[in-house]
Amino acid sequence: MGKALYRWTHETLVRAVSTWAEHVSEILRQRGIVQNIVCRWQNRSLALGFVTWQQRVVEGIRQRQIVTNIVRRWQNRSLAIGFEGWKSAVLRQQALKNKAKSVLFRWTHGALVNSYNSWLHHVQRNKKARKIMSTGLTRWKNQTITKALDSWIENVRQLKRFRRLKNKVCLRALRTCACVHACIHACTNACM
């Protein structure tokens, strides 16, 4: 009977320790879950800030490339204007030579001159049309540049607004996390 009583008390003690160990294990598991949730809340705001920052950096790089292309086009345009001046001087000299040849040629060939004159008229008309198109295209490019700069300024304003909002959200999250941490600590102490 002594052995039976010893086994029974020993089994009761073992069950009590096992139950206590399971209870402590459950509390630790729950504490880990709550800590993971708190960490995710904290990291979520940081991750969101990082993703937004990364998007802004990519957008900034893209806008810098656009501005660089615009500046390059302006520089190329200046070179093109100089080249066009040289080209037009050469063309004027050639035109004078051609006129002299043309007068001489008219005296010697009549029908061929009429064909040449109609071709020349067609070329001159196409040259005027190209000049009109070039002027219109230049105006359109200037409007595009203005729109790109306005968009860039608006993006900078939005970035400033986002930073202020992010700082407010982070402060609130930190205050909330501090309250949650205090509650968890209080619950843990009450359970033990």
Largest CA distance in the chain: 148
Quick check: 169 and 48 in contact, CB under 8 A? no
- Tokens representing 58? 């990519």
Domain segments of the chain: what residues?
A: 2-191
Which residues are within 8 A (CB) of 35 and not within 5 positions of it... i.e. 6 or more apart? 184
* Predicted confidence (pLDDT) at residue 91 exceeds the cutoff of 80: yes
User: What mean pLDDT value characterizes the chain?
Assistant: 79
CA 102 to chain centre: 60
What pTM, to 2 d.p., does this model score?
0.25
- Using one digit for the tens of pLDDT, what is the confidence trace for 108-137? 776 676 778 888 898 898 888 888 888 877
Least confident of 54-68, 112-126, 152-166: 112-126
* Predicted confidence (pLDDT) at residue 9 exceeds the cutoff of 80: no
